[in-house]
Amino acid sequence: MELTANAKINLTLDILRKREDGYHDLQMVMQSVTLADQLTVAPAQGEEGTALSDLHFLPTGGKNLAQMAAAAFRAATGRGGEVDVSIRKRVPVCAGLAGGSADAAAVLRAMNGLAGTGLSLEELAQIGERVGSDVPFCVLGGTALAEGRGERLTPLAPLPACYITLCKPPFSISTPQLFSRVNVRKIVRRPDTAGVIAALEAGDLAGVARRMYNVFEDVLETRRLAEINEIKSVLIDCGALGASMSGSGPSVFGLFADRDRAQEACDCLLESYRDVFLCAPAGPNV
């Protein structure tokens, strides 16, 4: 079975409170994008399933999120066998783009097809919760408000047609470490989540772009923040309607109404960065 695993960006990311279980209650407007990994999922040749990709440093066995998703599917349904997963990796890893979660979500959809279980996407999303906080959104895709740990999803009006220039600077940020630096009571700047949702409903791209924000930007180390801000400046100077960091970073994206300007931003950023992509919003999975 061949599947496309779309990356996501956060149009907003807000942290509401720290929970007893160590996780945080979040409020995020999530958007799937056309930047994607390609997966092939087939019944395993050997006794145990494998997960092979074109990135040699990713785990190839049970520690790969794709295999963790297959195990979660078998545990939840009592159906489905071992699978070999082959991943053409295009989404940068440790980038705040949910690349690994997208692969896990694609494996859940594949297992559902291969095992003929006929589960709904909502049921698959519930299984995905056990694999990672971003997996449920990646199962559904499209545009959604994610709350709780990230698993409570409300579909939203789609992001109006636009172009998205995405840039991942060459450093990675540990998600748990970043969460540990957040003091919820000291968050000064927050995204206008309700405003973004209203702008989505009105089909107002500029209104969405203007209100985007990610509270993680406040707790970045000074030199990291400087680099994120520099990328944002390039995007805005090239005509982005707004720019923000995605997830726990370090990827930064800008929304453009105009393709030529989005391409110009790519060309500018490619002078300093390798991981630069021009993509577009992607709709929900069906």
Indicate which residues carry an active-site annotation. 8, 134
Q: How many residues does the chain have?
A: 286
Q: Does 130 bind ligand C5P (CB under 6 A)?
A: no
Residues 90, 35: contact at Cβ < 8 Å?
yes
275 contacts 246 by C-beta, under 8 angstroms: no
Taking CB atoms, the residue at the shortest distance from ligand C5P is 133
Which range touches ligand C5P (CB under 6 A), out of 33-41, 78-86, 127-135, 216-224? 127-135
- Contact stretch for ligand C5P (CB under 6 A) within 53-61, 63-71, 102-110, 128-136: 128-136
Give CA–CA dist 91/102, Å, rounded: 9
Interaction mask 149-188, ligand C5P, x per CB under 6 A:
xx------------------------xx--x---------
Assigned token pair, 241: 């309607």
* Strand locations in the chain (E): 2-18, 24-43, 51-53, 83-88, 143-148, 152-155, 163-168, 213-214, 242-245, 252-256, 275-279
Phi, psi of 97 (to 5 degrees): -110, 5
CB of 173 to ligand C5P, least distance (A): 11
Give dist(CA 177, CA 194) in Å, integer. Answer: 28
State how beta strands 83-88 and 24-43 pair. Answer: antiparallel
Binding of residue 210 to ligand C5P (CB under 6 A): no
- 24 in contact with ligand C5P (CB under 6 A): yes
- Interface residue with ligand C5P among 10, 133, 246, 285 (CB under 6 A) is 133
Residue type, 176: P
Nearer to ligand C5P, 19 or 274 (CB): 19
**Which of the residues 219 through 278 are near ligand C5P (CB under 6 A)?**
none
Identify which of residues 132 and 142 has a Cβ nearer to ligand C5P in the complex: 132
Does residue number 207 form part of the binding site for ligand C5P (CB under 6 A)?
no
Residue ranges binding ligand C5P (CB under 6 A): 23-24, 26, 132-134, 149-150, 175-176, 179
